[in-house]
Amino acid sequence: MGCNVPLWPFILVHIWLSVTGFQAARFGGQWVTHSYAWMNFTIVALGCWTVGQKSMKENCIMLIISLILGFIFDIVFLALYEGGFTCNSGNNGRGACSEYLFSYFMAIINCIFKIVTLIFAICEYKNRGGSVPNVKASVSVG
């Protein structure tokens, strides 16, 4: 049972979501630190490298690890930098509030989409000859 879906459309969506998630200016700066952008664009670069190097399964492993870590760090970034922004403040105006909310929700969608990309990166790893351990969990109550 293999999935033959190419990985490059997922990487293109991550490029778009990473740019839109980082674009909103907040009080003269970004709404989240630059480490958020570095993390997401590093994942995009690893994804491009994985798409370009079709014969190496090690690239898929690096992409899988970076997607897992990126998902965890996205949750931390979104939890830390969400608070403290009020849309009713006079110096921001309505345009800044909607731009901030758009970027914030694009960052949330990017975080969720990393799980979808992770599933297809694992499929790509299997297609390249990698083996995934067969984990069977048994639960006994009593």
Provide the residue-wise pLDDT of the chain in tens; the chain has 142 residues.
567 888 889 999 999 998 888 776 555 566 777 888 889 999 999 999 999 888 888 888 999 999 999 999 989 888 887 655 556 555 545 556 777 778 888 888 999 999 999 999 988 888 888 777 666 655 556 5
DSSP of 113-140:
HHHHHHHHHHHHHHHTT-----------
At residue 65, the pLDDT reads 93
Asked if residue 132 lies in contact with residue 15, where contact means CB atoms within 8 angstroms, the answer is no
pLDDT of residue 13: 93
**CA R_g for the chain:** 18
Distance CA 137, CA 57 (A): 27
Question: 0.85 cut: is pTM over it?
Answer: no
